[in-house]
Amino acid sequence: MKTLKDTKVEEVQKVQEVQEGQKLDPSHIMQVGLGFWASKTLLTAVKLELFTKLALRPLTAKEIKYEICLNDRGLFDFLDTLVALGFLQRSGIKNTLSIPIRKIPLFSSIRINYPMLEVSWKWLITDYTPSGVFLRKD
């Protein structure tokens, strides 16, 4: 009859065999687990109508700050994240929609309609303003 100790030893041996025989890759787990960060950034840009503004013309960070009422606190991190995610590109000091995003009719039209993203936003954020960190307090 197996004891609890014997069972635990067998479990540890099985884990070691798997680790020796395979390269364990937690990247998928981390990507799914932290995926809300990318979603929240995208949905905040949608809610603030940033893509609509940038579909009209390239804007500097200062212009974006005033166009969509952002404060300095998270402005550059927000824009840098959108660049890293591939939604924006930067040329000098101007921010524009990235080339792949410009080619999608939903993003390249002057007045952009985001019904599905709006629904996602309402599920993700409930009782506070979507851009609470970013709003300028003038």
The per-residue pLDDT for range 51-104, each reduced to its tens digit, is 888 988 999 999 999 998 888 888 999 999 999 999 999 999 999 988 887 777
pLDDT of residue 110: 44
Share of the chain above pLDDT 90, in %: 22
Residue-range domain boundaries for the chain = 31-124
In this prediction, residue 138 carries a pLDDT of 44
Mean pLDDT of 20-48: 79
pLDDT band for position 128 (cuts 50, 70, 90):
very low
Name 95's bridge partners: 59, 90
Region label for 3, one of left (φ > 0), alpha (ψ between -120 and 50) or beta (otherwise):
beta
* C-alpha triplet 57, 120, 60: angle, nearest 5°: 20
**96 and 58 in contact (C-beta within 8 Å)?**
yes
Q: In what order do the strands lie in the sheet with 59-60?
A: 59-60, 94-97, 88-91
Fold of the domain spanning 31-124: Arc Repressor Mutant, subunit A (1.10.10)
